[in-house]
Amino acid sequence: MPKFKILFLYPNLMLQTGFPIAICIFSEILKNKGFDVDIFDTTFYKTEDVSSDQIRMENLQIKPFDLGDNFKNLKNKEQMLEDLVRKVKDYKPDLIAISILEDLYPLAVEMLKAIERFEIPVVAGGVFPTFAPDVVIGEKAVTMVCVGEGEDVIVEICNRLAKKEDIEDVKNLWVKKDGKVIKNKLRPLRDINLNPLPDFSIFHKDRFLKPMKGRLYKMAPVETHRGCPYSCYFCNSGSQKELYKGQTGENFFRLKNIGRIYDELKALVSKYGVEYIYFPADTILAMGRDYLLEFTKMYKKIALPFYCQTRAETISAEAVKCLEEMGCHSISIGIEHGNENFRFKVLNRRVSNKTIIGGIRMLNSTKIMTSVNNIIGFPGETRELAFDTINLNREIDVYAHNAYYFTPYHGTPLRELCVKNGYVSHDAQTINITRDTILNMPELPPEAIKGLVRTFTLYVKFPKDRYDEIRRAESFTEEGNAVFKKLQNEFWQKCFK
């Protein structure tokens, strides 16, 4: 009897390397169960005019870098869709599983339309299907939507379909049947310590290559914990917590056993030759003191440079000492907004400017390369409020000051606020955080938001007597672009030597 075949589809931002860890976990679990797995990944197709990293480089947020010859002469989107059709014809999958982020949904729809004539069952999962299942299940080619975690769901789907059994009562699934949609409840959370080492071999080897502070590293992610203890109103992590708390009564935030993490790290070095680790946790230091000390002791045996992200209120002298001992190379701190009152009330981030400044200054005494993340264009934001963020950034000295566009993701309280206030329509499609705003609000029009994002780092790093010149560079006119180009070159020479 031939093996049951699963083809994963991964619509991705162009040249956004690194790994979607969930698909890698699913692949290894399914292979261990005797299933056949393959993937179609859009990363190395020219699906956009410029990559997100190129935009960030232009906006002075990352150091100029060269990806080399590996990533030149990419096939275009039309060729990508042709390759997808050919892949489906040749591989003949029994199930197609597609993982979808909200800003990649239009690309996902194009891919699904290209292959819907094959009438293969399609399960859609990921953050967007979890928080907008009604939108995704409406797509003609989608047979079912996975809401929430998918490790146990994908196995049950494959087992049932392989045996020609019905899937209409599989927990976590929304399933189309006889013109209706069956909406099943969530199953209990998975013990993440049961997950195997992710199968990175399913992706092209160049997925390991990631630019970091101006050079390429062979990098891989390691999951230390799942979920976030905080509930920011602009982020899906808080919504994930509420989803499971409401339906299963469980706490979505879970730490992985340190011994299990150590086994994964050793395997990454021995099997894949990884030279740099990325911890994708929203807040790496969201762990108890004893866990952190044990984690530090473990990681010193690995001694690879790593990148992580955290919040300022989790930083202490002891935590900084641990990061140094482990060999932390780079860390990102989420500031998001510089006005305390706005940050508290609108974003639900209850941390003072004093704490933010103090935490970052503790990192300044180390060799750790620190960057901070900010967001421009929140609902109700004004130019004056945006400059509160700029002014807070001027009080800290870090490697990079990142500014992103606010994105009203489905399932978040701030999207509901945007719809209520008429800043976006109910069915508005989001755009990637590096590219543009979809909000239309009188307090801060779209062109003003775009101008502030591209000049943000100039306002932070250059003296205030240059502000009139920088203001001219906010404009996307011929003159404004010329002024920005001049200031951009000056910045690269002075700040990114």
Mean pLDDT of 106-118: 96
Domain of 442: which CATH number? 3.20.20.70
| 379 and 447 inside one domain | yes
CATH number at residue 113: 3.40.50.280
Boundary (domain end) residue, out of 134, 167, 183: 183
User: Is the pLDDT confidence value at 416 over 70?
Assistant: yes
Name the average pLDDT for the chain: 94
Do 168 and 250 have their domain in common?
A: no
Rounded average pLDDT over 188-217: 88
Same domain, 230 and 179: no
Residues 72 and 146 in one domain: yes
Quote the pLDDT of residue 464.
97
DSSP letter string, 95-142:
EEEEE--GGGHHHHHHHHHHHGGG---EEEESHHHHH-HHHHTTSTT-
Q: Is residue 302 part of a domain?
A: yes
**Does residue 110 lie in a domain region?**
yes
- Asked if residue 396 and residue 282 are part of one domain, the reply reads yes
% of the chain surpassing 90 pLDDT: 86
434-475 residue pLDDT tens: 999 999 999 999 999 999 999 999 999 999 999 999 999 999
Q: Between 55 and 390, whose confidence is greater?
A: 390
**Do the domain assignments include residue 192?**
no
Mean pLDDT of all residues in 325-335: 96
Q: What angle do CA 12, 14, 16 make, to 5 degrees?
A: 75
Maximal CA-CA distance, the chain: 75
CA 208 to CA 414: how far, in whole Å? 34
Residue 471 lies in a domain: no
Q: For the whole model, what pTM was predicted?
A: 0.93
166 and 251 belong to one structural domain? no
CA distance 77 to 49: 11
Q: Residue 191 falls within a domain, yes or no?
A: no
Q: Which two tokens stand for residue 268?
A: 């990454």
Q: Of 126, 156, 183, which one is at a domain's C-terminal end?
A: 183
Point out the domain boundary residue: 183, 202, 237: 183
Q: What is the pLDDT of residue 314?
A: 95
Same-domain status, 277 and 151: no
In this prediction, residue 496 carries a pLDDT of: 65
Q: Which domain holds residue 59?
A: 5-183
Query: Could you tell me the pLDDT band of residue 374, with boundaries at 50, 70 and 90?
Result: very high
Q: Which residues face 308 on adjacent strands?
A: 331
pLDDT at 214: 67
Comparing C-alpha atoms, which of 192, 209, 191 is closest to residue 200? 209
Distance between terminal CA atoms of the chain? 61
Is the domain of 257 the same as that of 125?
no
- Same domain? For 300 and 347 the reply is yes
Taking alpha carbons only, the member of 17, 374, 334, 460 closest to residue 205 is 17
**Banded pLDDT at 211 (limits 50, 70, 90):** confident
Residue 75 falls inside a structural domain = yes
Whether 494 is covered by a domain: the verdict is no
Over residues 143-190, the pLDDT tens digits come to 999 999 999 999 999 999 999 999 999 999 999 998 899 999 999 999
Q: How many domains does the chain have?
A: 2
More confident residue, 484 or 495: 484
Per the domain annotation, does 194 fall within a domain? no
The CA distances from residue 335 to 77, 147, 307, 347, 377, in Å, are 36, 30, 17, 11, 14
Query: 298 and 237, same structural domain?
Result: yes
Give pLDDT, residue 258: 97
Residues 177 and 240 in one domain: no
> Residues 348, 451: one domain?
yes
Overall average pLDDT of the 476-490 stretch: 95
Q: What is the spatial distance between Cα 307 and Cα 265, in angstroms, rounded to a whole number?
A: 14
